[in-house]
Structure 1
């Protein structure tokens, strides 16, 4: 079984409700056990800054699927929740974004999949929720906490739990 980290994000529609539905889909379709789920965080947009704030979270799962099957399944789940990768603009608004962050300590560099996620250490909006659920996890030799300490976190706000 592999220990996998997945980042969730979105800024179109009721994103928190989407997360509540998407996480069971992820676990079911990936034959995975949910090990941890971060809080939801409101975050400033990244890349294309002229859009609504995002909601971000991270989960840790355990699965026997290989990384390519996981990525394919994540894309299917995104589409199920209204994401159309073919017609969206890069870093633009979206209903659901699911990023495969890390798969055990596997390193892959292929056009269709790079692990760990190539921009992980640039993105406080991913590292903040990851630090909540896996602060000491080493990814590419760096702990989540140490990587986060190198980035500004202004504008990232933990949201209250959904009762």
Structure 2
């Protein structure tokens, strides 16, 4: 079995509904989630957006390899209304599923890098990770999530939601 830690997020439509539906669809193939973070609201990162994002981290254990997991998450994104990016810039979206970690491996594929190459720069990723994975050691930086969050330079608004 492979441990897969994913970041779910979006800022269009019923985002919490989309997050719940994503977890349900992921569970159909990956099994029930092992751990799920709280919901976090954040400003858009890397671009201006009318709506804030809502994010959540979820952990699964499954037999899928990284490429199969990427294909599966992209299929769910499309099913829930995500369109292909119109350019190279970040943009608003109903759902986004990022693979943050796959076991404790470093993986480089033509269309996938694990750990997610920007997770240490983004408080909207690090704060939900603190819910259950504060001691998880990043396989590239050899620092745990708490240490990465403490050194993160991102000053954007991120707050836990009470839903």
Shorter-normalised TM-score: what interval?
over 0.9
CA distance in 2, matches of 1:53, 1:88: 21
RMSD across aligned C-alpha pairs, in angstroms?
A: 1.5
CA distance in 1, matches of 2:144, 2:151: 11
Residue 143 of structure 2: aligned partner? 142
> By how many angstroms is 1:153 displaced?
5.3
State whether residues 102 and 114 of structure 2, in contact with CA within 8 Å, keep that contact through their aligned partners in structure 1.
Answer: yes
Per the normalisation by structure 1, the TM-score is 0.92
Residue 100 of structure 1: aligned partner? 99
Would you say how many aligned residue pairs link Structure 1 and Structure 2? 160
Per the normalisation by structure 2, the TM-score is 0.92
Q: Tell whether 2:16 aligns with 1:16.
A: yes
Residue 159 of structure 1: aligned partner? 161
Long gaps (5+) in structure 1: none
> By how many angstroms is 1:154 displaced?
4.8
Give a deviation string over 1:65-122, Cα, whole Å, max 9, x none.
1011000000000001000124466311000000000000111122211011111111
> Which region of structure 1 is more displaced relative to structure 2, 70-79 or 140-149?
140-149
Task: Show structure 1 runs of 4+ deviating over 3 A.
Answer: 86-89
CA distance in 2, matches of 1:4, 1:91: 24
